[in-house]
Homo-oligomer: A and B are copies of this chain.
């Protein structure tokens, strides 16, 4: 299997951009302003932060910076120490469990409804999973140290993120069952829906190859399954760009796991 590279992705709508690493300087107030502006600009800012009390949110934003994430960037390897946490805005990120260096499987998709770096919330400094950018876009980022400070200061933040950790638990359990029982067709539909939710657009870059790696199946399997969805006019493929045509149809084609997972999120964090 060939390695994931950061080569050109000619049809990507969002032009590749490196992570913005210029160290941000200035007073805390200035930083906050900048971050707040970023939040305003972003089409859909991060939902976890949006729910915080104004004061806590502003304080937290003061130690954030906005970064542009590039498709296929690896933000953190499995077992590595967590250096930063991320709150995606219009980017989305997948959490991958590597097995035997050949196979790996995507177990979670994180968009502006979630965060990357949950282990820190639970007092653990290493990530059990590989973190890969799946959809280019912007995210708020802060260092692990700064994040821990904020956690210390804001009970509201703690509470919110612990609940998010719970949602993750429930989702993983659901995914485990899904992987065991549901057909490839249904699972494909489910993941496309999850992508759709997090991409905030009807069209996004996603090849069969990548999908196959996410679902833990052969590329050809995805081709077949996607062919069915295309016949039914639910999606359209054009060389790596997929367009969602009929969301309701997709939901009908997907397994109940999609519903189950979104429901728990709403119940616990909505």
Q: Apart from A122-B162, A172-B176, what are 12 other A-B pairs with CB-CB below 8 Å?
A: A99-B256, A107-B173, A118-B169, A119-B166, A119-B169, A122-B166, A123-B163, A128-B170, A169-B172, A177-B179, A177-B216, A180-B216
8 Å CB interface, A87-146 against B: 95, 97, 99-100, 103, 105, 107-108, 118-119, 121-124, 128-129
Can you list 7 A-B pairs, Cβ within 8 angstroms, ordered by A?
A97-B173, A118-B169, A122-B169, A124-B166, A176-B176, A179-B180, A180-B180
A176 to B108, CA, bound (A): 11
Q: Which residues of chain A in 139-182 are interfacial with respect to chain B, using CB atoms and an 8 Å cutoff? A: 159, 162-163, 165-166, 168-170, 172-177, 179-181
A264 at the interface (CB under 8 A from B): yes
A interface, CB within 8 angstroms of B: 95, 97, 99-100, 103, 105, 107-108, 118-119, 121-124, 128-129, 159, 162-163, 165-166, 168-170, 172-177, 179-181, 216, 256, 264, 268
- Given that A123-B162, A163-B123, A166-B119 are contacting pairs, would A180 and B268 also be in contact in the complex, using a CB cutoff of 8 Å? no
Q: By the criterion CB–CB under 8 Å, are A107 and B163 in contact?
A: no
- Known contacts: A165-B169, A169-B165, A172-B172. The answer to whether A97 contacts B128 by CB under 8 A is no
Q: How far is the CA of A176 from the CA of B107 in the complex (A)?
A: 7
Q: Which 10 A-B pairs have the closest CB atoms?
A: A172-B172, A128-B170, A176-B176, A122-B166, A179-B180, A122-B162, A105-B177, A180-B216, A179-B179, A124-B166
